[in-house]
Amino acid sequence: MRSAFVSMLAAAILSGCGASGGGAAPPPSSPFTSPGAGFDVTVTENTHSITLRVGQTLAVVLHARAGMTNWNGVRSSDPSVLAPVVNPAASAARGVTLAAFKAIAPGKAQIDATAGPDCSPGQACPAYLIGLTIDVTVKGG
């Protein structure tokens, strides 16, 4: 069962699932937007990598693709380098997922999240996930 899921996931990723036209309006052209109140840097689903200094805060603003669920499971791969913090913007617009992190120590971490197809209840739904990874490098203060 697990190998079948992994195979389906790999096939979905390799086929560029959800990458063709017809999606929602893209977020601003720059991968970085003005940081929210209290944040040093903001990243979106279009950001591939970012470098921070120890002590800086990072706002993550992820926009759902058309036909997909909101991004979920937003986490840091190494909380000793990039720790989650409470995001003061407790609510977001529909289709937007918010998360916040603080650079704690020099090193590397990844911010990961997933989204799946947005299916109507009681109807057949394809079994795939889209993964998001943002590479984060934290340098000494």
Angle CA 16–2–122, to nearest 5: 70
The H-or-E segment that residue 115 falls in is: strand 107-115
**Each residue's pLDDT tens digit, 86-117:** 865 656 677 899 999 999 999 999 999 999 99
In a domain? residue 62:
yes
| pLDDT for the residue numbered 28 | 38
Domains in the chain, number: 1
**What's the rounded Cα separation, in Å, for the pair 69 and 122?**
16
Residue 36's pLDDT band (cuts 50, 70, 90):
low
Average pLDDT, the chain: 77
Least confident of 37-46, 54-63, 82-91: 82-91
Please state, for a pLDDT cut of 70, what percent of the chain lies above it. 69
Range of the domain at 54: 33-119+128-139
CATH number for the domain that contains residue 135: 2.60.40.2020
In a domain? residue 25:
no
| pLDDT for the residue numbered 95 | 87
In a domain? residue 8:
no
In a domain? residue 81:
yes
In a domain? residue 20:
no
**Each residue's pLDDT tens digit, 67-92:** 899 999 999 999 999 999 986 565 66
In a domain? residue 2:
no
- Bin 79: left if φ > 0, else alpha if -120 < ψ < 50, else beta: alpha
Q: What are phi and psi of 120, to 5 degrees?
A: -70, 145
Q: How far is CA 92 from CA 15, 77, 97, 102, in A?
A: 31, 24, 7, 20
The model's pTM: 0.71
In a domain? residue 3:
no
In a domain? residue 110:
yes
